[in-house]
A and B are shown apart, each in its own frame.
Chain A
Amino acid sequence: MILGVAAPALWLPMLALLVAGLFAATAGLGPTLRDARPLTWHAPVLLVGMLLVKQAIDWGLVLEISLRFMLTATPIFWLHRMTSPTELLKLFERLLPLRLRFILVFTLRVWPLLFRDMQDILLLARLSGAWPARRRDIRPRHLLRAPGRIMLPLSVRAVRLSDDMARSLEARGLDRL
């Protein structure tokens, strides 16, 4: 029960709007929209999953899960935009052991790098014709190709990025601290 309203479908949108507004006011509208864009992939996954499991779409539930996801994920971008990795290391100095602080830094650092790589992978897919240049030109065949030409390289990239960054810190002797 928040503000006398029990239904999450009512207060979650309000909370989401509040967070989005706060984010846009501090980080700027452009970065807010750019950060939110990669998170929208969860929507089709959610809809397809619900269709497979329940053979129907409960829009109220979709909205609730979707907003919960956005509310959980968005602050990560916010924290990244507003706080440098070095500041984070210092900020949690008394709260977390060094290894956990590194994991936190990694989590924040990988997102923007992965987003930049996603743009490059999309550019390559567009140039090769595997993905259309304009959103309105998306056809079912593009969606069939997307896992192999976009999602798979992106997943591989995510693993490689984490691996390379961990190696980079190891290579500077930070695993020995």
Chain B
Amino acid sequence: MTPELAVRGELTLVSGPTGAGKTTLLRNALRTWRAAHPGGWPGAVLLGQNPATQLVADTVEEEVAFALVAAQVPQAEVARRTARALAVFGLADLARTRTEALSMGWKCRTLLAALHALEAEALFLDEPYAQLDADGQTRLDAAIEDWLARGCAVTVSADRTPETIAGLSAFRRHDVHPETGLRPEPGLAGAFCDTWAREAPPLPGPAAVELRSFAAGHEGAGPVLRDIDLALPTGTITLVSGANGSGKSTLLRAVAGDLPVGSGRRQLFGRTDAGLAPATALVLQDPELHLTGRSVRGEIAAASVLRQGGAEICLRVFGLADFAERAALTLSHGQKQALVLACAMATSPRLLLLDEAFCGLDADALEGILGTLREIVRSTGLTVLAVTHDPGADILNFADAHLRLAGGASCRGVALPPGRRPGAAACCSGARRLSS
């Protein structure tokens, strides 16, 4: 069915909406390739979608060399290939870093470097761009060109065409089942807000989240965040972007109260408290951590504190009605993301923390879900803090304020597209007010 997906010296982009079957297609293509080319090792290799569960070694260097060592490749050759792969993906300085300590983007780079070191004949990469920042994407583009020049077959899945690889002469496109995506119904957002379990606070209110000279980090390690000043007004959406490993996820966990406060002050809804954030929903980067093994409808019902009928509207408003009876764990990555967002909203939180929550959503689903979230924020006074490594135009339009985090140490305001609501602004040390 799929041998044409992988052609030597050519790049094939498998594109399609969330849940179209891109991952299944890539896995089948890998099997087909291996059946057709039984000799030689490793032959064809595949990068899975979730980097967090694919790492097997302790350090970055060991991870890149792991398969080569297992295959008993001569030591000098292992060293040569490992050093080259680390350099290609910008990992040379992190060679001895523990893989557990890496951010999702750096984990993805580590796995890409591990595949690069194998010098395979065919590479199948499932959504490799989704986790990478601009530098990582540029390095992957260069690596793809290198693989193509060596005569490799490269197959990449993505929900949209990355601009850079679309320019390659050996580029082919394979669209899959465009009719099977999520179908959010933002028109139902008003009805959904009527079932909201919490009274909306008056708008505009005091800061929902306030950090002053704030420093935090993981237990037993140095502070990842230093000298952060941040104020999120109630009923606003703040977007924090930054390169892979800049401390975005750590910032969210610190706001949620999961990390010990090193110094400074953290205030939530006017209360200074070192404990967990009250009435807060956190959406983690890996949606499977939220799932409890139920059906889609069951997951939402279990999380829901909405009034009568709210859970059913929630299903429709996030475009999940078509999958309501399916086991949640069998959904695609993007569908799981939409489900986890729906579950978070079904808890009627006052503060919503989103960690790369839009990864894997195709453009149409993303537009519908962002529109729904914006309407909910406007109607209920919900405060949203979202972090992303890739602030695309649609996500920028969604936010009231955009901050850039660099090296966990500074937060700088970034101008938003014209026409955003004035007054809704987050401010950080050394940053200008975004609305001015």
Contacts and interface: CB of A to CB of B under 8 A. Distances in A.
Interface in B264-305: 275-277, 280-282, 284, 286, 288-293, 302-303
Interface string A95-136: 000100010011001001100110011011011100001000
A154 to B, nearest CB: 10
A148 B58 contact: no
> Which label, helix, strand, loop or mixed, suits the secondary structure of the B interface?
mixed
A30 interface: yes
B289 A85 contact: no
B114 interface: yes
B171 interface: no
Interface in A132-177: 133, 148-149, 152-153, 155-157, 160-161, 164-165, 167-169, 171-174, 176-177
A177 B48 contact: no
A122 to B, nearest CB: 10
Given A124-B290, A127-B281, A133-B276, A168 B120 contact: no
A53 B253 CA distance: 44
A157 B67 contact: no
A86 interface: yes
A90 interface: yes
A22 B57 CA distance: 25
A156 B181 CA distance: 26
B256 A148 contact: no
B48 A173 contact: no
Contact of A156 (B56, B220, B282, B293): B293
Nearest to B69: A86
B57 A85 contact: yes
B38 to A, nearest CB: 9
Interface residues of A, number: 43
Given A90-B69, A127-B256, A164 B53 contact: yes
Contact of A173 (B45, B53, B284): B45
A127 B280 contact: yes
Nearest to A176: B41
Interface in B61-101: 62, 65-67, 69-71, 100
Interface of A: 30, 84-86, 89-90, 98, 102, 105-106, 109, 112-113, 116-117, 120-121, 123-124, 126-128, 133, 148-149, 152-153, 155-157, 160-161, 164-165, 167-169, 171-174, 176-177
28 contacts: A84-B57, A85-B56, A86-B57, A86-B65, A120-B284, A121-B289, A124-B282, A124-B284, A127-B256, A127-B281, A128-B347, A133-B275, A148-B302, A149-B292, A153-B293, A156-B288, A156-B292, A156-B329, A164-B48, A165-B56, A168-B53, A171-B30, A172-B45, A172-B115, A176-B34, A176-B42, A177-B70, A177-B71
